[in-house]
Amino acid sequence: MDIRHLEYFSEVARQRSFTKAAEVLHITQPTISKMIKTLEEELGVTLISRAAKQIELTDAGQAVFSQAQHVLSAFHNLTSELSDVMNIKRGLIRIGLPPIASSSIFPRVMGEFNKVYPEINLELIEVGSKMVERGVEDGTLDIGVVCNLPNKEGIFEMFSFIKDPLMVIVHPDNPLAKQKQVDFTELKDESFVLYRNDFSLHDHIVARCIKSGFQPKVVCGSSQRDFMTEAVAAGLGIALLPQKICQELDSSRVKAIPLIEPSVYLQLAVIWKKDKYLSFAAREWLKFTSSLLNIELPERVKKHLQ
pLDDT digits (tens, 9 = 90+) for 123-163: 999 888 889 999 999 889 999 999 888 877 688 998 888 88
Q: Does one domain contain both 158 and 272?
A: yes
Per-residue pLDDT at 250 = 92
Q: Does one domain contain both 271 and 220?
A: no
Q: Does one domain contain both 283 and 144?
A: yes
Q: Does one domain contain both 152 and 294?
A: yes
Confidence of residue 89 (pLDDT cuts 50, 70, 90): low
Q: Does one domain contain both 175 and 261?
A: yes
Per-residue pLDDT at 142 = 93
Q: Does one domain contain both 17 and 138?
A: no
At which of 56, 85, 114 does a domain end?
85
81 has pLDDT over 80: no
Q: Does one domain contain both 140 and 196?
A: no
Q: Does one domain contain both 104 and 75?
A: no
Rounded Cα–Cα distance for residues 201 and 245 (Å): 15
Confidence of residue 175 (pLDDT cuts 50, 70, 90): very high
Q: Find the range with the poorest average confidence among 20-29, 30-39, 70-79, 120-129.
A: 70-79
Q: What number is the average pLDDT over the span 291-305?
A: 82
237 has pLDDT over 90: yes
pLDDT digits (tens, 9 = 90+) for 34-56: 988 888 888 898 888 877 667 88
Q: Does one domain contain both 116 and 233?
A: no
The answer to pTM > 0.75 is no
* Total number of domains in the chain: 3
CATH of the domain at 260: 3.40.190.290
Residue 273, domain extent: 91-162+267-304
Confidence of residue 87 (pLDDT cuts 50, 70, 90): low
pLDDT digits (tens, 9 = 90+) for 250-297: 989 999 999 987 678 888 899 999 878 888 888 889 999 999 888 888
303 has pLDDT over 80: no
Q: Does one domain contain both 105 and 134?
A: yes
CATH of the domain at 139: 3.40.190.10
Q: Does one domain contain both 103 and 228?
A: no
Q: Does one domain contain both 169 and 240?
A: yes
